[in-house]
Amino acid sequence: MSTPVLRAEFAENFPDLCLEWQAADYPDASLLQLNEPLAAELGLDPQWLRTDAGLDFLCGRASGCYTQPVAQGYAGHQFGQFNPQLGDGRALLLGELDTPGGLVDLHLKGSGPTPFSRGADGYGARGPMLREYLISEAMHALGIPTTRVLAVIDTGRSVLRSGPERGAMIVRAASSHIRVGTFQMATVLGAEDVSAQLVEYCLQRHYPEYAGGGALALLEQVMNTQMHTVAQWMGVGFIHGVMNTDNTTISGETIDYGPCAFLDAHATDACFSSIDTTGRYRYSQQPAILGWNMARFGEVLLPLIDADPQAAIAQAQEVLSSQGSRFDAIATEMWAAKLGISGRPQAPQVVSLALDYLRREQPDHTTFFASLEDYAAEQTHPLWQAWRDCEPDPQRNNPVVIPRNHEVERALSAAVQDDWQPWDALLHALRHPFDADAAYPELLKPAAAEWTETFTTFCGT
């Protein structure tokens, strides 16, 4: 195939929000993993991507493919504290690929230092980059909006973390990398005209049916999309771990898998991130944090909502104040679907009983929903009679396979040493989360409690 040519819409439209930059030179780079299903979806030939020309394209060094790679700037609230300048410290937007489904960003992560690096080296290590590929593919297979990894590149150089580690870079695909923090950066710059342009660009790119609707329409659509995404997180027991505003995308896609984890036992206060010392982003807190992030989004949009500050506040508050009840309705329907009782008049009451049962008994989250009949046959809790009275649909769509934390760690530890058998088995199973036959026995059961008690995640990606 001919070398793809990427567009540069973000770079050309928002020069104030990005810096032209080049990826580090990796002369010994090689292709470590290629996401062939994603390549096909994007209209890219997997066989060509495996050639030297394809590798050059993936590494951001193919002449004529890119108008100009850029490091995107953004600000953000990190653990509640505002940082006015974050940005792509080890990443570059190569450009946008024009696909039948719309524009798709191709983005390097681990591509070397940029002016946003803030003293960091800008490189990536093999384990964290493989982790992002693994978890994002699992999320995609579960039907949850997510960025995805097109390729993992061995950079051929070592990076220094707790010790020397093998370097790697990912090529990430996303419907865009525009974040709440992107708008916060425009506000820091005092560039209201840029903010207004960014509002319309995001509406046209992500919510075209609301194009021309202005800042209030964008606030409402992002809030709605993010509510559905976070509800799906809750349904599969996903804990993001770092829900900063710079990780809250305008598209609603999940981004940044560094400190994430999945529930084994349904512990609502579960928090595994080494940097979340207060449990701010624990499992049960995620809906509330989304509300907080959307309030920060609303704040930076106020000048664009109405020229009268009081009128702008009133209009934004009307949208934001509805989030609690709207999220509850979305989440209740999600839980009802998992219980097989969607549309039943008594569904809200049964969902409430089920959530109370989960909090009290703390069963394995995934096994519970995959084996409801077994629990109902063995338990006397009021939930089960109420559930049976609903005549639940036997064709419930609950996963039997999730990225079990202990199995993810085992596969990554092996892959770092070039033992790909555990990785291949896990990736295959995670791409078929509703098929028990695709899994291996250890993936269908939780880790030992003593392992989970000491398990900690890190922001390695």
Instruction: Kindly list the catalytic residues.
Output: 246
Q: Are 212 and 235 in contact (CB under 8 A)?
A: no
The residues pairing with 160 across neighbouring beta strands, listed in sequence order, are 164
Cβ-based neighbours of 94, under 8 Å, separated by 6 or more: 6, 60, 65, 66, 69, 106, 107, 108
Neighbour tally for 378: CB within 10 Å: 8
Q: Crossing angle, helix 286-305 and helix 192-206, to 10 degrees?
A: 120
**Lookup: tokens for 160:** 């220094």
Question: Does residue 387 contact residue 339 with C-beta atoms inside 8 Å?
Answer: yes
Tokens of 265: 């036992």
Q: Name the residue among 401, 391, 392 with its Cα closest to residue 433.
A: 401
Whether 185 contacts 73, CB under 8 Å? yes
Number of neighbours of residue 3 by Cβ within 10 angstroms: 13
Q: Which two tokens stand for residue 392?
A: 């639940």
